Structure 1
């Protein structure tokens, strides 16, 4: 599923960024390029991060302010 149309970032890229150590929405956005233009994808990125983070038992999910 495409999460960010501006940067053509999909949900797999968001999950990979999380798995690679990006634990906040801001970190995921910086890592993937999502949320850097119009910002309308931030809530979707947050949802994917929270859902994926909930599946990772050793890492709590942190959510910072907006990425841009």
Structure 2
């Protein structure tokens, strides 16, 4: 499905950017080109991010060296 008609960005493109590490709408838009013109696709990008948020929390916690807490 095309998410951004202005830049011809598909939902697969968005998901690939999320899988590659994008965690915000701005990061997804920067990686894919979506949202640069009319901005009508931003809500769809946000929806896809929310749908994939569950997979973010399913990843194991990684400690930062030197961090305490």
Q: Which TM-score applies when normalising by structure 1?
A: 0.79
Tell me the residue number matched to 2:24.
Answer: 24
Tell me the residue number matched to 1:15.
Answer: 15
1:40 aligns with 2:40: yes
Unaligned runs of 5+ in 2: 61-69
Q: What is the Cα deviation at residue 54 of structure 1? A: 1.9
Which of the pair has the greater relative contact order for Cα pairs under 8 Å at 6+ separation? 1
Q: Which TM-score applies when normalising by structure 2?
A: 0.78
Unaligned runs of 5+ in 1: 60-68
Larger Rg: 2
